[in-house]
Amino acid sequence: MLENCILLSLFAKENLNRMSEQQLNLYDRLINEPSNDWDIYYWATEAKPPPAEFENDVMAMLQEFAKNKKKEQRLRQPDLEYLFEPP
């Protein structure tokens, strides 16, 4: 769904390069295991509490990111060129 594509891709761009291997594994589980994409969105936006198996520091990071405290315009996914930039 579009909402998750935007939210998760922008979150990934901002955070994946500084996450530990354990956090990357948790993020991978989060984006691949739930069968309903709306669940991920509801958990990230805190409309519904996440189940215990997804209640971790990565979920907390995603929930904080979803609050968009800087009021950034998040209207589309980032271009993928950032993947090829040196860290």
Give the integer Cα–Cα distance in Å for 40 and 53: 13
Maximum distance among all Cα pairs of the chain, rounded to whole angstroms? 37
Q: Is residue 34 scored above 90 in pLDDT?
A: yes
Which residue has tokens 């990565």?
58
Domain ranges for the chain? 2-69
Task: Say whether pTM exceeds 0.95.
Answer: no
> SS3 sequence, 16-37?
HHHCCHHHHHHHHHHHHCCCCH
Predicted local distance difference test score (pLDDT) of residue 59: 98
Residue of 8 and 76 predicted with greater confidence:
8
Q: CA 62 from chain center: how many Å?
A: 5
Q: CA 44 from chain center: how many Å?
A: 8
